[in-house]
Chains A and B, each alone.
Chain A
Amino acid sequence: MAASKASRIGEEIWKTRIDKVNAELVTLTYGTIVAQLCKDFEDDYPEVNRQLDKMGYNIGLRLIEDYLAKSNTMKRCSNFRETADMISRVGFKIFLNITPQVTNWTADNNSFSLVFDENPFADFVELPDDGRAQNELWYSNILCGVLRGALEMVQMQVEAHFISDVLRGNDTTEMRVTLIRYIDDELPPEDD
């Protein structure tokens, strides 16, 4: 499916089928979760990243169904490039009203970057000034988990992680998504 068509679909769904919610409510809710995790794990940021990823994974497992229902998707993407376009132009569009850029493809078309020009989760946020958070915490790491969970449900095993974040002082916020393999259909257990 052409990228422009995906954009049109995303726009259409966003306008007509999505219940809107106050953006600050979302930002503050997510912020509270991250801040509380930091408190609960005593500023063990790698662990906070893991927890966020896990939460995202559980969200992704469900969110994909909502995505499929709202977008009326009947068939699979024909390749990973199409998948990337759908993630950005339909998925991110309808759930967060943003369309991160899909760039930096590897030659084998199995790995790409999502560059976030805006990130509604990170509005207002300043990372703790303890000398470690800037290097260890991936504030929006929940998004990696969401992608991993959602794509697993449509039979793609992927690995996703952030490689830069404006909150850390980088120029861009960039997530790297890599396809590991397509998961085969599960077969019914053999009868004894």
Chain B
Amino acid sequence: MSAAIPSVACLGVIGRNNNPLHISIFPSYDPLANAFTPIRNPLQFSLLLSSTIDVFDLRSKNSTASGDYGLLHAIDDRLAAYGFETNTGVRMVCIVDMRGRRVEAGGSGAVGPSAAALGAGGGGAAAPSMSASSLGAGSGGPSSLAGSSAAAATARSAVGSVGAGLRDAELKPVFRAMQSAYVRLLQNPFYDPDEHAPLGGKGGKRITSKKFGDAMKRIGEAWTPGVTTL
């Protein structure tokens, strides 16, 4: 018997000018195909990241000093976006797939409880779960934007249960690791921050550093609930 546990589906870094700096996408386990595939296409992830900017802006008025925004919004019963903002206005977003990875039940003790909690949450919202998974699996046809937002709307009833499955603190190590990777990127003398977020202007180049990309890949693949350092 196997159970699904959360995994990182996408890591995004958004610049000061609301410009995309970096997007890493990680495949989730697909039980139908018994394979790992991303549950959204890159454009959809990009749009999901863009949609978090509004939440950041809304919450920035009464933001916490730590910069940790916690759960930004639950997209459907599988996906949830968590956010973090540095004092320099760089936002880091982690989109978690609540059933992105499979573990054999009775494996490690740490995985057991969180997987059980998730199972309960998923059971409470059975109907939207079906529509969401069909959307995710339906990679053959181009899934329309309206469809995905509708799915998000129907899933909103399940927000509580998805959010409850994973405490905000579980994501802390991810953001800490992302931030230190970002700091290391800035320490590279050939990385010019001004190119990536021109003052007062719009837009900016994406991050092309291989080291940074590798760090994001490592973070996204290494994280599971209960991990304290990345």
Q: Do chains A and B touch in the complex (CB under 8 A)?
A: yes
Partner pick for B190 among A27, A30, A123, A125, CB 8 A cutoff: A125
A127 and B190 form a contact (CB under 8 A): yes
How many Å lie between the Cα of A32 and that of B213 in the bound state?
23
Shortest beta-carbon distance from B209 to chain A in Å = 6
Q: Is the interface of B mostly helix, strand, loop or mixed?
A: loop
What residues of chain A lie closer than 8 Å to B189, measured between beta carbons?
A: 28, 30-32, 34-35, 124-125
Partner pick for A31 among B184, B188, B210, CB 8 A cutoff: B188
Interface size class of B (residues with CB under 8 A): 10 to 19
Is B208 an interface residue, CB under 8 A from the partner?
yes
Interface centre among B187, B189, B208, B209 (most CB of A within 10 A): B189
What residues of chain A lie closer than 8 Å to B211, measured between beta carbons?
A: 126
How many Å lie between the Cα of A35 and that of B194 in the bound state?
14
Q: Is the interface of A mostly helix, strand, loop or mixed?
A: helix
Interface size class of A (residues with CB under 8 A): 10 to 19
Inter-chain CB contacts under 8 Å: number: 33
B190 and A28 form a contact (CB under 8 A): no
Is A128 an interface residue, CB under 8 A from the partner?
yes
What residues of chain A lie closer than 8 Å to B209, measured between beta carbons?
A: 126
How many Å lie between the Cα of A35 and that of B186 in the bound state?
13
Interface flags, B181-218, vs A, CB<8A=1, else 0 = 00010011111100000000000000011110000000
What residues of chain B lie closer than 8 Å to A32, measured between beta carbons?
A: 189
B187 and A27 form a contact (CB under 8 A): yes
A125 and B188 form a contact (CB under 8 A): yes
A50-100, CB < 8 A from B: none
Shortest beta-carbon distance from B4 to chain A in Å = 37
What residues of chain B lie closer than 8 Å to A123, measured between beta carbons?
A: 187
What residues of chain B lie closer than 8 Å to A35, measured between beta carbons?
A: 189-190, 192
Interface flags, B3-31, vs A, CB<8A=1, else 0 = 00000000000000000000000000000
The closest CB in chain B to the CB of A121 belongs to B189
How many Å lie between the Cα of A31 and that of B189 in the bound state?
5
How many Å lie between the Cα of A166 and that of B27 in the bound state?
32
Given A126-B210, A126-B211, A129-B210, does the pair A38, B190 have CB atoms closer than 8 Å? yes
How many Å lie between the Cα of A128 and that of B188 in the bound state?
10
The closest CB in chain A to the CB of B190 belongs to A128
How many Å lie between the Cα of A137 and that of B209 in the bound state?
18
Shortest beta-carbon distance from A40 to chain B in Å = 14
The closest CB in chain B to the CB of A24 belongs to B187
How many Å lie between the Cα of A127 and that of B184 in the bound state?
14
